[in-house]
Chains A and B, each alone.
Chain A
Amino acid sequence: MSRRRELPEAEELNLVPVMNLVTILIPFLLMAAEFVSLAVIDSTLPAIGPPQPVEEEPEKPPLNLSLALTEKGITVLGADAVLNPEGAAPVAEGEERPPTVPCKSGGSCQGVDDYDWPELTRILGMIKDEYPDDENVILVPGSRTQYEIVVKAMDSSREDADNPVNGSPRTLFPFVVIAGGAVN
């Protein structure tokens, strides 16, 4: 008891300067804080100018893979050799060919989630099996296609997360060109 009394009284730590420092740091960091992380998707315009000379005759005819995004679904163009090896199924006169990947609800797609993106990725994976060196895909959206759907189509055709190769998602067609050729 007597020993304790000998000790000097514990001085309380003066935290006010630290507080000042922290109070100044907080607005500064708040300004530089990023609450959403951004990414970019690369795309280029279709090349304008003279066509590049073909150096050698390719063994396989080049794949001109196109995805037409319409209100009824997604039509995969330019890969009939894979999708319809026996030729396209006959279509009744006066009827439009149904899209390769129809909407989940049938008929017109209601919003982004109604498009069958996993099915599109699966089909593109099949095409990639046949054309492993091809990396380009052309998107042809309709006039009323929402931008979100275009982005989602780019995502679905870039990589296949469900079938990873060596731990990372399988790369499908990472180079996207957006064509403005849709008439409707």
Chain B
Amino acid sequence: MSMKKARRQSAEAGLNITSMMDMMTIILVFLLKSYSTSDVSVAPSDNLQLPTSTSQKAPELAVNLVVAKDQIVVDGVPVLDLTKVPDEENPGQQLIVVPEDEKRGQVITKLYDRLLEKAEAAKTLAEQSGSDEHAFKGRVLIQCDRELPFNVLREVMYTAGQAQFGEFKFVVYKQG
């Protein structure tokens, strides 16, 4: 009698999860399709909107230099903040610039120091590994906001060049 009752109860509580399985299977297929093991990751935000491009070249691992609208970040560590000043040539508009006291000539000092550290670290690593594969090539991945004026980018590129990074790879969204 008691056993009969238990069986009836379990039949009432039995959840039909077949439809949920269907859903999960579809989600699984979709996620597997978008699975990637790319070395480069971007964290899009309001201040970092990459431009789109027709380029088809795949990104590779390198020092990651992010120039957002409000700050410069190297390998995930913020280096310095950018400021906005009134634009002299276009009254009423603002221009994003590197603060004057952060610069020595065209070189952005903090960024230069950080990049030089990265270059030295990469060179030490290359020496210790001894293989050509890890040789320091001065590659830097530049993620830059699409609305950033060129004056900031020019100083960033100049600074990177001074810090022995001469091969720029501009990260963009692939079109389509």
Contact = CB atoms under 8 A, between A and B. Distances in A.
Contacts of A33: 31, 34-36
A158 interface: yes
Given A146-B150, A178-B157, A34 B38 contact: yes
Q: How large is the interface on A (under 10, 10 to 19, 20 to 34, 35 or more residues)?
A: 35 or more
A32 interface: yes
B126 to A, nearest CB: 20
Contacts of A150: 150, 153
B28 interface: yes
B161 A40 contact: no
Given A38-B59, A40-B170, A158-B54, A147 B146 contact: yes
Contacts of A88: none
A40 B172 CA distance: 6
Nearest to B87: A144
B1 interface: no
Given A19-B17, A32-B35, A40 B141 contact: yes
A141 interface: yes
A18 interface: yes
Interface string B158-172: 100100001111111
A38 B150 contact: no
Interface in A111-142: 141-142
A143 B36 contact: no
A15 interface: yes
B147 A23 contact: no
A40 B25 CA distance: 34
Main SS class of interface, A? mixed
Interface in B127-176: 141, 144-151, 153-154, 157-158, 161, 166-174
A45 B154 CA distance: 11
Interface in A2-51: 12, 15-16, 18-19, 22-23, 25-26, 29-30, 32-45, 48
A97 interface: no
Given A15-B18, A34-B34, A180-B158, A39 B24 contact: no
Given A15-B17, A15-B18, A146-B148, A41 B24 contact: no
Interface of A: 12, 15-16, 18-19, 22-23, 25-26, 29-30, 32-45, 48, 141-148, 150-152, 154-155, 158-159, 161, 178, 180, 182
Interface of B: 14, 17-18, 20-21, 24-25, 27-28, 31-32, 34-38, 40, 42, 44, 50-51, 53-60, 87, 89-90, 95, 141, 144-151, 153-154, 157-158, 161, 166-174
Given A26-B24, A143-B151, 15 more contacts: A26-B28, A29-B28, A32-B35, A38-B59, A42-B169, A43-B170, A44-B167, A45-B157, A45-B166, A48-B161, A143-B150, A144-B95, A147-B148, A152-B53, A180-B157
